Structures are given as structure tokens and as C-alpha cells.
Structure 1
Amino acid sequence: MSPLTEVEGRRLALSNLDKVLHPATGTTKGELLHYYATTAAAMLPHLRDRPVSFLRYPDGPEGQQFFTKNPPPGTPAWVTTAPVPRSEDPRARQPVIQDLPSLVWAANLVVEFHTHQWRMETPAVADRLVFDLDPGPPATVVQCCAVALRLRERLAADGLEAYAKTSGAKGLHLLVPIVPTPSEQVSAYARRLAVEAEAEAPAQVVHRMAKALRPGKVFVDHSQNAAAKTTAAPYTLRARTLPTVSAPVTWDEVAECRDPEALVFLMDDIAPRLERYGELLAPLNEAGRGGRLP
């Protein structure tokens, strides 16, 4: 029988706490749950009111992985859910992680957290713009940093402020708070900037997804601004060999990056970083912070 624990008045059955999920570091499921519980104050504002998709990897990153938007069987009634806009099934819903009990419940399923750029009360009206900078080998995150700095300047020219985080995989994410804007308009603007970036540096940047175009270049993925798409949330663990995190980074760290390993952050790195830098992405959730697209 799974042990029961109480989290802010909610009873949860937590399973297989000694199960090793990342053999390279010996990281157990119990340690994963502890990470999310102790990082919740920083992470929850980025999840709250945003329907989530889960990439589940219950047997670790080397086991089966599957992506789901629907609430899994056995989802507690107290977990908030929201309708999926433009779904063929009018009953389709997605979970929304509103509080610590919901976060621990979801983490017990062993998931990556992926969120939309809009909130459940305004489906398909985004309050964030996102670029996913993905390096095509032999390019690395070092080249992503150079592209990120160019995009930051370009966004600033339009009165928009960008914030950076690692993807937790190979690249970087840029997040931009914006005045609520229909996702179609955000997508068009993001695509325009990605096309501009390729035109200015065609040897380093590509805006199209075709893998044949990407070796040695940074793919500026603008597609995650579409209303139906989701992006790995800040502070989520990733289903990688090591327990890497999608971690906020400073612009100084981006500008000074010369080593691909310099921006790899593991689960145990996050508490010290929060102590040193605070919550670098907190401005994304501040009322009135968003810029207006031109």
C-alpha cells in the first residue's frame, strides 16, 4: 500500500519513493518529490491558471515516455481542470496546477510540466511570447546564447523585455511578458522575428523545422506560440539521463557562456541558485509588466 501523506489538508498516496529514476546520479522518486515541494514557491506562479500537459516517464528517462493532456485516471476531484479550446471533444479538459497539493500529486506521476502561453480564463489569448532556441549539432547552447542576445536586442527595440532559462535539454528558452494578445497575432510576430534572425545570420540561424536545415545552426522555434502548443515550464525536471532542470539564468550568464556545460543545472543546483539570485522569472507574473506587440 502506498504511504499516505497530508499536504495542506489534502491526503495523497505517494508511491515507490525509493525507486531510482536517474541511475547516473542515483536520484530517487522521493528526492524528486522533495525537489518539487521545496521549489514550489518559485514554480507555482508559472503553473497557476495555465492548463498543463504532462510528459510522463514513470520508469525514468530510459523507460517508456508518453505525452498526455487529459487528466490521468484517478485524478482527485480537487485538482482543477479547464476545457481544451477548439477541441473536437467538447468534454476534453486539461489539469491546472493551482497549489502545492496539486503539484505534489502531479509530481508523484513522474512528469515534465508543459504549459500554454495563455491562462484558462482567456483561452488562446497569450500573455507570454516564447522562443525555443534549439542547437543542431555540432552547435551547442553556446551558439544559442549568441542568438539569444541578438533576439533580446531585437525585442528591446520593440519595447519588449526578454527573460532566459535553459530548456533543461540542449538549448535555451526566451520568455517575454506581453499585454494579452490573441495567440495568432503573437505567432505571426514571433515568426517574423525568427525569419529576420535567419536573414541577418543565415550561417548561424534557421527558422524552419526541417532537420536537414539544422546541422551547425540554431533553430529559432517560434511555433510554440500557437494556442494549442505548450512549452516546458520553468523549474520542471526533464526526462534526461541526468536530473536536469529548465532553470532561469541571468543575462550575464548567457553573455559569458563559452562552455556547453556551463548552463547545465541539476535538481540539486536550484536551491542554491534561488538563494543567490532569487526568482529570476518573477517579473513574468507581475501585473502590468507585459509589453505591447508592435
Structure 2
Amino acid sequence: MTPIAEVEGRRIALSNLDKVLYPATGTTKGELLHYCATSAGALLAHLAGRPVSFLRFPDGPAGQRFFTKNPPPGAPSWVRTAAVPRSAGQLAKQVLVEDLATLMWAANLVVEFHTPQWQVDNPARADRIVFDLDPGEPATVVECCAAALWLRERLAADGLSAYAKTSGSKGLHLLVPLEPTPSPEVSAYAKSLAVEAEAELPRLVVHRMTRALRPGKVFVDHSQNSAAKTTAAPYTVRARTEPTVSAPVSWEEVAGCTAPEDLVFRVGDIAGRLERYGDLLGPLINLNRAGRLP
């Protein structure tokens, strides 16, 4: 019998709670849902106001995975949606995850949460810049940290503040709070910094996606600033071998990273980090911290 949970007055069927999703750690679906419930404050703060896309992996990371921007079939009538622009000027519905009930309903589907750099009431006007630092083997997150420190200083020279989180995979994400700005302008600025980083650090950084250029270097992916692109949300669990989280990190942790495992955080680590540091990405949702493009 499928358990029914009542969350904020909503009845949600929570299925297969004992199902092992991550065999490497024995992590069950119930433990994944527990993580989402106990981290809801931080998760919801970064999902609020943004149309959410889902990377679903119902049988764990080794099973089938599929990405969807459309509301999943069978979504309850109380799950809020919003009309957002798609290609050719068309509108389409996407889910808004802004309360605990919706979060737990979505988590029961076993998903990664992905969001664009803009909010639903201001489409295609980015309120943050994102750089996805992706290491090409044998480079690791250690090299990503070196690139991140350079980008942080370069952004500061333009009056912009950068904040970091792990990707939850191999790399690092840099996020910069911004006064709402047309996405094409943000994309152009981000690309210019990626090109500049490669010119300044040619042995470390590459700004082009060409696979042949990437071994041993950090690809500074600026493309996710496009209005049509999305990035893994802060605190989302990733569909990786272990239940790793896209976790905010301090600049002290970035500067002190000497081995890849230094910046690997799993679902069991986040409650302690939130208690110790609070939300290290809090400035992203504090409009007083937003900067302007030069």
C-alpha cells in the first residue's frame, strides 16, 4: 500500500520509500525525500519565482534519465504552473516549486531541479550570471578552483560579486547576482570573460566546447546564460553514482581545495553545513547585493 503523506494540507502519495536509488551508498528513496524535507528552506529559496525543469531518474542514476520542462503527467491540480516563453514566441507551461507540498510531490518523482537565470515575472532578463567550470580529465575540481579564483577577481574589478557552489558532479559553478538585464547582454559579457580567462590562463582554461581542446583544462562554459538554458539549482541532489548535492561553498574552501574529495558533499552533509554556515548563496536572493554589467 502506497503511504499517503499530508503536507501543508495536501495529500501526496509517496511511493517505494525503501527502494535503493544509489547502490554505492545504499541510499533509499525515503532518505532522498527526507533530505528534501529537511533542506526545504534552502531549496525553496532558490527555486522560488523560477520555472523549474526536471531531470528525472526514477530508477536511480544507473537507470533511464529524461529531461522535461513540461509539467509531468499526473501532476495534481494544486501544483502551480506558469506560462513561459519558448522558441518562436510560443508560450508553454512549467511548474513552479514554491511550497513544501510541491517540493515533496516533485521529489517523489526522483528529480534534479534545474532553473534558468531569470524569474517567471521577468522572462529573459537575467538576475544572475552563471559560469559552469567543467574539468577535462586529468584536470579536476582543483583546477576549477584555480580558474574560479581568477574569475572572482576579474568580476570584482567590474564591481560584481561572485559566489560558488559545487556542480554536484566534477566541477564548480560561479553565480553572480545581477540587476535584471536582457539575457543576450549577459551572455555576451560572460563569453567575453571566458575568452579573457583563456587568454590570461592558456594552460588552464578553454572557453570553447570542442572536446579535443579540453583534456587537462577547465572549460569555462558561459552558454548557460542563454535565456533558453538551465542550470542545476543550489541544493539539488544529482543523478550521479553517489547522492551528491550541488552545494554552496565558501571562498575559503575554494582556495583551500587540494584534492577532489575536498569539495564533494552528499545528502548527509548538508544539514550540518546549513547549521554551520547558513545559506552561503543567500546574497543571490538579496536584491541589495545585485550588481550591474559594466
Q: What TM-score comes out, normalization by structure 2 length?
A: 0.98
Partner of 1:81: 81
After TM superposition, the structure 1 = structure 2 runs for residues 1-294 of structure 1, keeping only pairs within 5 Å, are: 1-88=1-88, 90=90, 92-294=92-294
- Give the drift of 1:36: 0.3
Matched to 2:275, the amino acid is E
- Distance, in Å, in 2 between the alignment partners of 1:272 and 1:114 is 24
The one-character-per-residue Cα deviations of 1:243-290 (angstroms, maximum 9, x if unpaired) are: 000000000000010111100001000011111111111111012220
Bigger mean CA deviation after superposition, 282-291 or 57-66: 282-291
- Distance, in Å, in 1 between the alignment partners of 2:228 and 2:204 is 29
Matched to 1:18, the amino acid is D
Q: Secondary structure at the match of 1:45?
A: helix
- Give the drift of 1:17: 0.6
- Give the drift of 1:87: 3.3
RMSD: 1.0
Unpaired segments of 5 or more residues in structure 1? Answer: none
- Give the drift of 1:42: 1.0
The one-character-per-residue Cα deviations of 1:130-151 (angstroms, maximum 9, x if unpaired) are: 0000000000000000000000
- Give the drift of 1:241: 0.7
- Give the drift of 1:44: 0.6
Matched to 2:258, the amino acid is R
- Distance, in Å, in 2 between the alignment partners of 1:130 and 1:89 is 24
- Distance, in Å, in 2 between the alignment partners of 1:164 and 1:192 is 20
- Distance, in Å, in 1 between the alignment partners of 2:115 and 2:211 is 25
Matched to 1:87, the amino acid is S
- Distance, in Å, in 1 between the alignment partners of 2:76 and 2:185 is 36
- Give the drift of 1:90: 3.8
How many residues of Structure 1 are paired with residues of Structure 2 in the alignment? Answer: 294
Q: Which runs of 4+ in 1 moved over 6 A?
A: none
Matched to 2:10, the amino acid is R
Matched to 1:235, the amino acid is Y
- Distance, in Å, in 2 between the alignment partners of 1:112 and 1:86 is 21
Bigger mean CA deviation after superposition, 264-273 or 76-85: 76-85
Unpaired segments of 5 or more residues in structure 2? Answer: none
Q: What TM-score comes out, normalization by structure 1 length?
A: 0.98
- Distance, in Å, in 2 between the alignment partners of 1:90 and 1:13 is 33
